[in-house]
Structure 1
Amino acid sequence: MTDTTHPATGTPTDAVVTEDAVPGTRSRSTLSELAADAPPTAPRPRRRAQSARVRSVLKHVLLIAFGLVMLYPLLWMLASSFKPSALIFREPGLIPSAVDLGNYTDGWNALTHPFGHYLLNSAIVVLGSVLGNLVSCSLAAYAFARLQFRGRGVWFAIMLMSIMLPIHVVIVPQYVLFSSLEWINTFLPLIVPKLLATDAFFIFLMVQFFRGIPKELDEAARLDGCGHGRIYLRIMMPLALPALATTAIFTFIWTWNDFFSQLIFLTKPDMYTVPIALRTFVDATGQSSWGPMFAMSIVSLIPVFLVFLFGQKYLVKGIATTGIK
C-alpha cells in the first residue's frame, strides 16, 4: 500500500498496488473497493441468539408433544369416567358428548363395602410398609456403611444379588410359611417382611448416601461419648432426609399399586385393597362396569398423585445425592 495525492485536490489517498493480469504492469485499487470484494463476515451474535431460541422452542414443542402422547391414556380414562357406559367405546375422543356423574356414586357403592373401605385397607398396608422400610433398611444400610464385621463384603454382595431375584420365585415358600403361621387373610404377610429389610434396593440406596457423609462426624460424636445408636439417630437420620424421603415415596407407590402379592395373601372381600377391588369391577362374562371402574381408578390415583407432587423435590434430591447415575 502506498500514499498517493489526489490530482485535483492534492489530498492524500490510500491505494494498494496490485499485480495486473498482464505481466510487467500494475493497477491501483482503493481500500473501499477491496472491502466491497471481501467475503461476508461471520453471523452476528443476534442471529446466533435467534437460532438458539428457535432450537429451544422446537425442543420444548417436541417434549410437550411426547408428554401429551404419554398422558393420553390417563386423560382418556379421566374423560371416560364422566361418560355413560354406553358411550365410552363409541366415542374415543376426550370431550364427552354427555356427562354422567353417576359413575362416581355408583362405583363408590358398587361392591360389598363402600370404596372407602378398600382405600383404608390399602392405607394400612402402605403405612406399615413405609415405616418398616424406613426403619429396617436404614439400620441395615448403617451397618454396611459404618460397621466393620466379618464377611461384610460377602453379605453385601448377597444383598445386591437378591435384587435380581423375581418375586415369583419366593412367593410359594412365603405362602407356605405364612399359611403355617395362620397369617393368610391378614395384613401381616404384606407388612412383616418390610420390617426385616427385604427390599435390597432401598438398602443399597441408603448405603450410597451414608458413604457420602464424612466419617469425621462419627469420630467427633465418639469423642463426645456417643455410641452407634446415638450416631445413627442424631447424625445419620437428620442428614439422610433425602434418602429417607425417596424410600418412603417409592415404597408408597409400589405398595399402593401392588396387585400380585395382595391377591395371593388376601382372599376375603373384607380384606381387599384398592387394586383387588378394582379388579372385581371386571366381570369374566364381559359384562363389566367400565364407567364406575374408571371413576374409582381416578379416585385411587389421587393419593399417588399427591404424594408424588409434594415429594418430588425430595425424590430428585435423594436420587441425585446417592451416587446412582
Structure 2
Amino acid sequence: MQKGVSIIICTYNGKARLAETLRHLAMQKSHCPVEIVLVDNNSSDGTRDFADNWWRDNGVSTIEYTSFSQPIPGKSYAQELGYAKAKYEYLLICDDDNWLCDSYVQTAFDVMENDSQIGALGGWCEAVFEKERPKWFDIYAKYFAVSKQGTESGDITNKKGCLYGAGMVIRKSHWLALNNLGFKPLLTCRKGDSLSSGGDTEYSYVLRLLGYKMWYDERLYFQHWMPEGRMHLGYVQRIRKAISESNFVVSVYTDALKNKEFSKTDFYKRAYRMIKKDLVRQTVNRINGSFEEKELAKEYFRNLSRLLTNFSDYKKNRDTIGSWLKRN
C-alpha cells in the first residue's frame, strides 16, 4: 500500500457547502502524498460537476483530485466506494461541511506513521454558524459532533472508546483485511436527508475487536459548518432518536469487547428492573417534563421497547459479528 493520505469526501446535495471545504483542503501545508476522492451519493443538485469545476479552477497541483458517483443511498456505501478508489494507506474522512486546519493532513500522516497500533485517529472541532449561535447549542453540541474527544492527546481506547467520523483517519489495509474476513457493517449511516447514524462508532469498535487503539490528537483541529436550517431543537430530537437507534446496534460490539452475551431472559429481566424503578416517573416526565426531561423519557421508553421486542435483532447482530471474528 502506498504511503500517503487519501481525503474521502462523501456528499449528498453538497453543492452549497463544498467550496469552503475544498478551499481549506487546497491550503493544506503537507509534504506527504495527498489525494482527494470525492463521492457523490446520488445528489440531485449538480454536486459532482460543481466540485469538479471548482477544483479544476481553484485546486492545487500538489493534491490529486478524482470524483465518483455512488447511486446507492447511504453514506456507508459512498464511503466504501471512496475507500476502494483510494490509492493511499491513510484514509481521512472529511465531511462536506468540515474545514480542516492547514496542518491537519500532514499531522495525521505523521501520527499514523509513528504508531502502527493506532486503528483510528481523531481530532476536535468548533462550530461555525451561518447565523446566530443558538442559546441552547452548548448544551447539545455533542449531538452535532462538536466537542473535544479527549482531555489530552493520546490513547483514548479505554476512555471515550470510539471516535466520531468527521476528521477520522483510518488505514486502508485494515479495511481490506476486514473485507477479507467477510465483515459487513450493521449500520448504513445517513441516507439522503435522513438522520441514521453511528457508522463511525461501529467502525471504531470493530477495530478495537481486532486489537487496535483509538487515538486523539489536539493538533487535529477543524471547523464544522452549522447551517441555519439545522439550528432548532426539533433537529436535536431527530439526532437523538437516530443515535438511540444506532446505539442499540452498536451495543453488540461493546458486549463482545466485554466478552458478554445476553439471553432473552436477560433482556426481560432488565426490562422488569426498568419498569419497577422508573416507569411512573418517566411517564410523568414524558407528559409534563421540561424539554430535556421529555427527551430522556423518550429514550427510556425506546430502550424499554427494545428490551421487550428486539432480542432477535440483538442475537442476529451478535451472530454476525461472531462469524467474521472467527476468521480473524
Say yes or no: TM over 0.5. no
**Structure with the bigger percentage of helix:** 1
Q: TM-score range by the shorter chain?
A: under 0.3
**Structure with the bigger percentage of strand:** 2
**Greater length-normalized contact order (CA 8 Å, ≥ 6 residues apart):** 1
Q: TM-score, normalised by structure 1?
A: 0.27
Q: TM-score, normalised by structure 2?
A: 0.27
